[in-house]
Structures are given as C-alpha cells and as structure tokens.
Chains A and B, each alone.
Chain A
Amino acid sequence: MLAVLSTIAAEGGAHAEEVINPVIPENPEMIWGGIAFFLLLILMNWVLLPPIKQAMRKRSEQIRGDEEAAERALVDSEQVRRDYDATLAEARAEASRIVDEARQSAEAQRAEIVRAAEDEVATLRQAALAELDAERSAALGSLRTDVAAIAVAAASKVVQQPLDVSANQAVVDQFVSSADSKA
C-alpha cells in the first residue's frame, strides 16, 4: 500500500502529464486476450482434454477391475485355504487312524510273538526237564550199581571173605530207596 501511495505521489509530481487510467481496458489487448483465451478454450474442449480424460477413465476402470479381481482372488484364496484346512484335518484324522491301527496291529503281533516265545520256552523247558530226569535216573541207576559194588566190597573187607555183588544187590537197592525217600 505504501508503495502504491508513493508511486501515486511520485506520479503526481514529475509525471502528471503522463497520467493514464489503468482501469480502462485497451481494445487491442481485449481482442488479443480474447482470441488467446477462446483459442485455449476451444483446444481444451476438443483437442487437449479428451485424450487425458480418456486415459484417466481407462485407468479408473482398470483399477476398479483389478480391485474386483483382487477381491475375487481373495475370496477364492480363502476358499482354497478352507479346503486345504479341511483336507489337512482329514489327512490328520486318517494318519491318526492309520497310526492307531498300526499300533494295535503291532501290539497284537507283539502279543502273538510273546505267546509263541513263551510256548517255545515252555516246550524247551519241559524237554530239558525230561532230559534232566532221564539223566538223573540214569545217574541214579549207575550210582546204585556203584554203591552196591562199593558196599559189597567194603562188606567183603569187613567180613574177610568175598561177597557176591548180585546176591546183595537187592539189599543195597532197598537201602538206597529208603535213603531217597528220607531225602
């Protein structure tokens, strides 16, 4: 404002004779300005704006289409995820069932093997016991014979005359039998 006032004051002095009214428009400037603006308006309306607006519309449509496709893809992926979860749950149940069955089968096999082993052990034990009894009976028989022979030999020494082993066998056997029963 000060600048304007100082300008006007200066103008009131030295340049008083050159005063013009700047508010009054000059005809040539209005004509050329009008031509320039209407040229711009016409070009803007029919040449400049349409391709840019068309590109903006295309882009908006493409963005909208991409958004819808993304929305659909999201829904599809959600469905796929649900399907996957369901399949996974089924697979887990199936795996659990298979593991249970395998466990039961293994348990049955183990029981069978144990039972067979126990049977085999019992058979072997019985065979060993029978063999042991046979061995013991044989050893006992041999012992009786030897005891009889030793006893008769000892008795012969005591009586100072030979004794027949076979004749005294029965006495020795009876003695051994009575000793067995006492043991």
Chain B
Amino acid sequence: MFAAEGGGGVKFPGIKEMVEWPAFLFKDNELLAFNKVALISFIAMAIPVVWFLVAGSKAKKSLVPAGPQNLAETSIEFIEKQVIGQAIGPDGMRYLPLLLSMFLFILFGNLFGIIPTSHFGANARMANPVVLALLTWLVFIGVGVKHNGPRYFKDALFPPGVPKALYLLVTPIEFISTFLVRPFSLSVRLFANSLAGHILLITFSVLSATLFAKSLLVAVMPFSFFMLVAFTGFELLVAFLQAYIFSLLTAVYIGGALHPAH
C-alpha cells in the first residue's frame, strides 16, 4: 500500500506513517487517547494473564505439567536460572514476578511486530520502553536504599578500594553511568531495535510490492521477498533477545544495588 503509484519509482512511507497511530478511543483526550500501540500493550498483557490462569488451573489439578502449564513453568525456570540465577543469585527470587512480567510483556509486545495484520511491536514506540526503564531505575535505587540505606549511594558513587584522588574522575562517571545513563540506554536499546526491525520489514515489503508491480523488475522481486521472510525470522529472534536482555540488565542492576560495593 506504500508502494509507488504510477511510474514514480519506489516511495517509502515517512516515519510518521510508520510509527504514529491515530487514536480510536478517547480521541479528544490528550492523556487517555487509545490507539493501536495501547491496544497491543493490553493484548501483550492479556496473553500472559490468560496463559498463566489456564496453567495455574491445570497446576491445581495435576502435578505433571503439560501444555500451557509446561510452557509457563519453562518460562519461570528460564527467568529463575538464566536471569536471576546469573545476575543476582538466590537472594533475587523475590523479584521473579517483576522480571517475569517484564520479560513476557516485552516479548509479546515485540512479537506483534511480525504478526500479520498487526505488524507493529508495542516497543517500536518509545512509551513502553521508557515506562519499563523508569520502573527499573526506581526499583534498583529502591532496592539499594532498602538493603544498604544511605550507604548505597556512597558505595555506588565512591567505590571502595579506589585511590581517593581518582574519585574526582570516578564519581562523576559512576553517577552518570549508574543513575542517568541506565534508564536511557535501557529504553533506547529496546525501542531502537524494535523500530529498526519494523523499518526493515516495511522496506522489504515495499520493495517486494513495488517490484511485483513492475514487469521488468519482477525477476529481482524473489530476492526482496526472501529478505522479507528472512528478516521476519530474524525479528522473531530479536523479539526474544531484547526481552531477555532487558530482563537480564534489570536483574544485573538490582543485583548491583543489593551489593553495591562489589
């Protein structure tokens, strides 16, 4: 639909067309305008809810996992072993609900980027990554203060074992990297990867459609279509990987806040 009309060559959609979605509920409300991104966010929330409800009801009846229960337990164990176990340790099991929710919310939000008829991931907009990154920022600072008191800031900004003269250099770096850059890098990483994947898929979709319309260039179209299919598979991997990276970095930050001197 974005392909060129007539003989004008390939015309790619503008960034506004690619990422901005009009509201279809509360259109006139500046704070509650409900658009496609908000709908995808709610579906990305609803899928794990329904899935875990079914799994939980099965778990009450049988200790032998099967179907959704098996998948739910696999995802739980994945977060426990590959995220919490790697980044925090046994102390971090209390953060399982947070990290599992983050992982599933980001994963399903990303997967909508390759689901036909949707073809837009919730995290290809900056809103969700910012919310999650700010939450991470608040959580790891809160965990640090809760477990270490004011000493958390002292240990984080003035790492023990560093010569005092170096604090002039180290402390500003630690302050910027720990308290300013972390939420920004978390949100931008997730958003940029999702948006880049979205743009790539649009690019090869437009190319395929345009080349299919041009009789002389139709021979090139299979290459473009192959790239479209390949990048769709690649986006599946990226969807999982970004959810894993975001959850893992959140766990790393929480683990660092629990033991700031390390």
Binding site for B on A (CB under 8 A): 3-4, 6-8, 10-11, 14-15, 18-20, 22-34, 36-37, 39-41, 43-45, 47-56, 58-59, 62
Contact = CB atoms under 8 A, between A and B. Distances in A.
Nearest to A1: B196
Contacts of A54: 59
Contact of B12 (A6, A23, A62): A6
A26 B203 contact: no
B170 interface: no
B178 interface: no
B98 A41 contact: yes
Interface of B: 11-20, 23, 26, 29-35, 37-38, 41-42, 44-45, 48-49, 52-53, 55-57, 59-60, 63-65, 69, 72-73, 76, 96-98, 100-102, 104-105, 122, 125-128, 130-132, 135, 188, 191, 195-196, 199-200, 202-204
Contacts of A14: 11, 14
Contacts of A31: 31-32
Given A18-B16, A20-B20, A27 B31 contact: yes
Contacts of B13: 7, 10, 15
Given A3-B199, A28-B35, A44 B125 contact: no
Given A32-B34, A33-B41, A18 B14 contact: yes
29 contacts: A3-B200, A4-B196, A10-B14, A14-B11, A18-B17, A19-B15, A25-B125, A28-B33, A28-B34, A29-B38, A30-B128, A32-B42, A33-B38, A36-B45, A37-B41, A40-B48, A40-B104, A41-B97, A44-B52, A44-B101, A47-B56, A49-B96, A49-B100, A52-B52, A52-B56, A52-B59, A52-B76, A55-B59, A59-B65
A41 B131 CA distance: 13
Given A28-B33, A51-B59, A44 B20 contact: no
Given A29-B38, A33-B122, A52-B72, A40 B131 contact: no
Contacts of B15: 7-8, 11, 15, 19-20, 22
Nearest to A12: B14
B204 A26 contact: no
Nearest to B131: A34
Nearest to A63: B63
8 tightest A-B contacts by CB? A15-B14, A29-B127, A32-B38, A55-B59, A3-B203, A48-B52, A51-B56, A25-B126
A85 B191 CA distance: 72
Contacts of B12: 6-7, 10-11
A48 B53 contact: yes
B195 A33 contact: no
B128 to A, nearest CB: 4
